Structure formats: structure tokens, C-alpha cells
Amino acid sequence: MIDAAHIEQRLARLPAIEAELSDPATAAKQKKFRGLVQEHAALKRLAGKAERCRQLRKDAEEQRHLLASSDADAELVELARGELPEIERKLAAAESDLLLALLPPDAQDRRNAILEIRAGTGGDEAALFAADLHRMYTRFAAARGWKIGLIDASASAAGGYREVVFSVEGEEAYGTLRFESGVHRVQRVPVTEASGRIHTSTATVAVFPEAEAEDDIEIKPDEIRVDIICASGPGGQSVNTTYSAVRITHLPTGLVAQSQDERSQHRNREKAIAVLKARLLDHRRLQEEQRLGDERRTQIGTGDRNERIRTYNYLQNRVTDHRINLTLYQLDRVIQGEIAEFAQALRAQHTQGRLAALSGTNATP
């Protein structure tokens, strides 16, 4: 049973939020105002769900009392016996909804995302698979009306990508794509394989939330090295006549970010800085999670880029996500961007893990 005192403590903030929202000075600070509006709406939903639980508990108790009464009217007892199971079913569903409303939102989920795909083991076939994954994510994003921005790409001679980095701008982009981080494995017959043998290769995906001003990530000029290089295309050939590509190395951490998509050196520097800030934000998160230890681990894995998360088997038209044991025999559709079923299942599993932790924390004895 959910601790009522915890709910009351959360709802006690409503008057303070409403007072801030009525203050004209708050409206002038758009970011703060939007945050307060969202928090107010969430608390009002919480209040409504808590009230529904209270009413259903009261109804259930009244029916049980009627069933236990020795002098109750027989017709009313029979009516109570028929209604109680349905009330209990509704109460269980309402308590689940209430727990979900108690979950604090992850502020990073609403952010834009930066994806990095790298070819792993498998040579040219791994690079081709990296290009397939890039196409899969861009089509998935485009179907949602999200904006895609290429930041950096290192093409292979065979036509794939040794590495490709791009941004995805849209509502809940990071929250939707965050569980794609890890090692993706493909099993198929390469077009270059004359004997028709199945080849296994891998590509690594890393997903970062885009850093924002509130993260207060400072990049000091004396802590970075900036290299200006010539952008290159397939086989290393120059794609423009000026040295416009920018590579930035953060000396304290060794993290590197590069952009060569723009012809302007200034724009490439801006993009590289944005990627570096995202990497530094992720670096900060990993350090905090290591400090907290196993508390960070959920049933869907750690998001570590060394963790094998999914297998794409072309011979069987099969895609298997190993974290949630979900298999779809629709690889032809998945590789074209139809990954919503995986995204929803992974997010639901993550939410269930958080709910389990919350119910253990906020349950009454």
C-alpha cells in the first residue's frame, strides 16, 4: 500500500507553485515558468489519482463491512459480493497509476539526443551495418517529425561508415532513443561473400542527451586542444578545398569531438563543442553512477557501449533484443526504421524497474 504521508508531502508544494505562477516576475522567466507549469500539472494529476484511490478503498471497505455484517439485508449482501471483485480490480489499477504518477520525471528524457555509431568487428561489413543503423534511426526520427543534423562522418571505401555522429531534435528524443546504447550484432551473408557463408559483425551505438545551459558545463580554453583539419570523404579524399573540419580534445578527460559537415569552420567548431558538452555530461553521469554503485542498474542493462543488446539475423528475418527477450520476425521492417515496438518495450521495462524501487521505498509496513 502506498504511503499516504509521502503523497501529502508531495502535494504540499501545490500552494507554493501556484503562488509563484501568479507572480508576474515568474512569467518573465520563460524557462522557469514552463517548468512550474509542468510541475503543477503533474501534481494536479497526482492529486486526482490519489483521490480516486481513496474513494475506491472506501468503497471496497464498505462492501467488505457489508459482507461481514450478520444482520445485513440478504439482497444487499449478494450485491456487495458481486461488486467487490470489480472494485478491487479497479483499485489495483488505480494504485498502479498512482505509483506511476509518483515517479519523478527524468529531466533528461525530454532533451534532444546525439547519436554516435561506430563500426565494430567485421571490417567493411561492419561499416555497412553502421550505415544501415544510421538509416534506421534517421527514418524512425523522420517518421516522428524530428529533425536530423549530421555532425561528423567517416566513410569507408565500401560505402558504409567507420563512424557517424548526428543529432536528433524533437520532443522526448533522448528518452525514446536512450536504450539504443550498446553493441548491435548483425548476422548475414555479405554481398562480397562468394561462398554464401553467414558473416557476423558488430556496430556500437552511443546515445547522449544534448547538454543545456542549466547543466553548467564549463569548457576552459586552456583545457582543450583544437585541431583544424581537412574534411574527408570515402577513401580519405578531400570533400572541400579549405581546412574547415574541427577536432576538439578535452585534455583532462581525453574526450574528443569532431565536426566536418559544415563548410564553415566556425559552424563546425560550434557543433564540435555541442558534442563535447554532451560527452562531458555523460562522463559526469557515469562518474555519479559509479559512486552510487549497483543502485543505477536496472533490468534492461547499464547502457554500457560494451554490452551486446540486439541481434539482427537476416537469414531468419529476426531481430532479438537480449535485455528484454523480445524477438520480432520483422527485420525487413525494423531496419527500415520501424523500431517503435522495441523503444516502447524498453521504456516500459525501465519504468517498471523504477516503480518496483519506488513501491519498496514508499510502501507502508
- Please state the length of the chain: 365
159 near 128, Cβ under 8 Å?
yes
Nearest to 209 by CA among 342, 107, 65, 336: 107
pLDDT at position 10: 86
Residues 344-362 as b or e (16 or more Cβ within 10 Å = b): ebbbebbeeebeeebbeeb
- CA atoms of 205 and 188, how far apart (whole Å): 19
- Cβ of 8: how many Cβ atoms within 10 Å? 10
What does each of the 365 residues of the chain score in pLDDT, given as a tens digit?
567 787 888 899 999 999 999 988 888 887 788 788 888 988 998 999 999 999 999 999 999 988 888 787 888 888 888 999 999 999 999 988 887 788 777 778 888 999 999 999 999 999 999 999 999 999 999 999 999 999 989 899 888 999 999 999 998 899 999 999 999 999 999 876 767 789 999 999 999 998 877 777 888 888 889 888 876 654 444 444 456 789 899 999 999 998 887 778 888 888 999 999 888 888 887 777 666 554 444 434 444 556 799 999 999 999 999 999 999 999 999 999 999 999 999 988 888 887 777 666 554 43
Grid cell 543488446 — which residue? Answer: 309
**327 residue type, one letter:** T
CATH of domain 107-351: 3.30.70.1660
Single pTM value for the model: 0.72
- CA atoms of 290 and 288, how far apart (whole Å): 5
- Listing DSSP states for 81-134 in one string gives HHHHHHHHHHHHHHHHHHHHHHSPP-GGGGS-EEEEEEE-SSTHHHHHHHHHHH
**252 residue type, one letter:** P
Beta strand segments in 156-288, E: 161-169, 182-188, 199-209, 224-229, 245-250, 255-259
265 near 243, Cβ under 8 Å?
yes
Nearest to 112 by CA among 257, 180, 210: 210
Bridge partners, 29 (sequence order): none
SS3 166: strand
